[in-house]
């Protein structure tokens, strides 16, 4: 089982919640592309607005990182909002959207994780490693104290497994 002292320092709940590294540092994708299974493009509003090759976003915007904007990306891929329940639901795959509520953040979206068929979650940690984590709380934390943690889960969405 691969572990990382650096990640455990960045995410204070990670070790206790249980996790495993599943791949080394790499770009792309971002966590949005990773959750969508799109490993060829970088899902980033800033790159898309300036029409940077290799970037994707909502075709007509908005070009921001609001929770509703990110949710709209997933809606276009067949996801619908559901209860804030991280349990495995037969016949569905889920994603969880995290929010960083620090007062100085104009755009509160911080991360998205995808549920695996075994009920665990998988995440692309920015330009860092990909991990499999047992719970969504593994990446939650007080972002004033642990600035790399993702805040808290504020939305879960699901779609039927194809």
Each residue of 44-96: pLDDT tens digit? Answer: 998 888 888 889 999 889 999 999 999 999 999 999 999 999 999 999 999 99
**What is the C-alpha separation between 154 and 109, in angstroms, rounded?**
10
For position 127, what pLDDT does the model report? 76
Token pair in block for residue 54: 């290799």
**What is the C-alpha separation between 112 and 150, in angstroms, rounded?**
9
Cα–Cα–Cα angle for 150, 155, 158, nearest 5°? 120
Looking at the predicted structure, is the pLDDT value of residue 99 above 90? yes
**What is the C-alpha separation between 62 and 129, in angstroms, rounded?**
29
Each residue of 129-138: pLDDT tens digit? Answer: 899 999 999 9
Read off the pLDDT band of 1 (50, 70, 90): low
Q: How many domains does the chain fold into?
A: 1
CB neighbours of 51 closer than 8 A, spacing ≥ 6? none
**What is the C-alpha separation between 22 and 24, in angstroms, rounded?**
7
**pTM for this one?**
0.93
Looking at the predicted structure, is the pLDDT value of residue 98 above 90? yes
Residue 43 is part of which domain span?
5-160
More confident residue, 40 or 116: 116
Q: Give the SS3 label for residue 10.
A: helix
- Which letter does DSSP use for residue 133 in this model? E
């Amino acid at each position: 089982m691969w572990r990382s002292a650096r990640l455990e320092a960045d995410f204070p709940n990670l070790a206790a919640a249980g996790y495993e590294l599943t791949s080394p540092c790499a770009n792309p994708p971002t966590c949005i592309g990773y959750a969508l299974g799109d490993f060829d493009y970088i899902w980033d509003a800033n790159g898309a607005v300036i029409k940077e090759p290799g970037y994707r976003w909502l075709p007509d915007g908005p070009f921001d990182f609001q929770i509703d904007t990110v949710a709209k990306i997933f809606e276009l891929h067949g996801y619908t909002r559901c209860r804030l329940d991280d349990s495995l639901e037969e016949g569905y795959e889920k994603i969880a959207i995290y929010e960083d509520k620090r007062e100085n953040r104009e755009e509160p979206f911080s991360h998205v994780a995808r549920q695996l068929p075994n009920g665990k979650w998988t995440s692309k940690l920015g330009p860092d490693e990909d991990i499999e984590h047992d719970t969504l709380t593994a990446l939650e934390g007080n972002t004033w104290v642990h600035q790399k943690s993702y805040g808290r889960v504020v939305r879960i969405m699901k779609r039927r497994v194809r």
